[in-house]
Structure 1
Amino acid sequence: MKEAASDDKGLIVDILTESFKDNQSVNYLIPADNRRLKRIRALMDYSYETCKLFGKVYVSDDKSGCALISFPERKKMTLKSLWLEVKLILNGIGFSNVSKAIKREKEISKNYPKSKIFYLWFIGVRPDSQNNGVGQKLMAEIIKESERMKRPIYLETSTMKNIPWYKKFGLDVYNQLDFGYNLFLIRNDR
């Protein structure tokens, strides 16, 4: 795993768009119209850029997997972050979902500790490279990095089949939220 370079952006957005196109949590915010995949790309572009500003973006050594990490305490309003949010609204979630997005993020963030965390926003592997250990290697390296930084990992998933996978790495569900779908809040906070 290495930190992504600027020229890795297209690859990372592609991986995440493909990996999350059927995800309940992502599709909760994305209008189900004929632009859905372009909207998901816009969300992944926003997430990538936000993590470049206020966190870290990692890519696997073979460039078939990636992870977006956010450090919430670093996030602040800048002209660039404001522009990214405007683009997300225009190209991704649409005006009709803004209040839904704000409400959901507020409910999720209530569950974070006041201390610094290692927020795993997205982890994805190209579909043709899945089940080959790429995700496992990425996750093991993410855990090492969080330990090096002395920050517990926090994340959410709406995909129940992912829960046992995270448990293998010592992460556990600590809360569940209902947004019309179940969102499982997971951490390794010890």
Structure 2
Amino acid sequence: MRVAEQADKQQAVMILTQAFDQNKSVNFVVKQDDHRVDRIRQLMEYSFDYCKEFGEVYMSDDGRAFALVLFPEKKKASLKSMMWDAKLASNVIGLTRVMQVLNRETLIKKNHPRKPITYLWFIGVDPRLQGKGVGSKLLKTVIEMSERKERPIYLETSVDKNLPWYKSFGFEIYKTIDLTYELFLLRRVVSHPELTVQQTMSS
């Protein structure tokens, strides 16, 4: 696993577009028309750029899996970010649907703590390699980074079958939002193994 560079953007966008093609949450954000797949591609381009600017992008060594991580407190408005947002609104969401999508984001963010967190925006694997442990290795990388920085990890998923996988890595469902689909909000708190050892010794 390694940190992705700008040169890896095209590969990341291709993999994530394939991985999230049928995702309910992504398709809620993306305008549903004949250009749907291209709109998903543009969403992934936006997300990659945003995470490179205000977070980190991790990838498997073979370039078949990517994790887009955002550090929300680092987000700052700039001419560049405002241009990205405007392009997202017009080319991906559709101007008539912007408020609907913004309301969704508000519902999610109001359930995040004020302290610094790791927001796992997207994690996706080449569909041909799913179930082979590639995504698990990538998620472990994100967890290890967050543990070092003492940041809890927050994410959401609309895919029921992914819940046991996340739970196996210590994530818990702390809220469910009813949109036109069910969105599960998950978090993983920072573990302190040294405290566990001390508690055991003193008990």
Q: TM-score range by the shorter chain?
A: over 0.9
Give matches, 1:102-141, under 5 Å: 102-141=102-141
TM-score, normalised via structure 1 length: 0.98
Cα displacement (A) at 1:61: 1.1
In 2, distance between residues paired with 1:103 and 1:180? Answer: 13
SS in 2 for 1:161: helix
Structure possessing the higher radius of gyration over alpha carbons:
2
SS in 1 for 2:49: helix
Equivalent residue number for residue 53 of structure 1 = 53
Q: Structure 1: 5+ residue runs without aligned partners?
A: none
Percent identity (aligned): 50
In 1, distance between residues paired with 2:96 and 2:38? Answer: 17
Give matches, 1:10-49, under 5 Å: 10-49=10-49
Cα displacement (A) at 1:155: 0.2
Displacement over 4 Å in runs of 4+: none
Query: When the two structures are aligned, how many residues end up with a matched partner?
Result: 190
Equivalent residue number for residue 97 of structure 1 = 97
Output one character per residue of 1:10-50: Cα deviation in whole Å (capped at 9) or x when no partner.
00011111000100001112121100000001111111111
Output one character per residue of 1:122-181: Cα deviation in whole Å (capped at 9) or x when no partner.
000001111111001001111101101110100000001010000010001000001111
In 1, distance between residues paired with 2:119 and 2:125? Answer: 18
Equivalent residue number for residue 199 of structure 2 = none
In 2, distance between residues paired with 1:5 and 1:32? Answer: 31
In 1, distance between residues paired with 2:108 and 2:89? Answer: 20
Tell me how large the CA RMSD over aligned residues is.
0.8
Q: Residue 103 of structure 1 aligns to which amino acid in structure 2? A: N
SS in 2 for 1:115: coil
Q: Residue 64 of structure 1 aligns to which amino acid in structure 2? A: R
Equivalent residue number for residue 8 of structure 1 = 8
SS in 1 for 2:160: coil
In 2, distance between residues paired with 1:163 and 1:19? Answer: 16
In 2, distance between residues paired with 1:57 and 1:138? Answer: 11
Equivalent residue number for residue 161 of structure 1 = 161
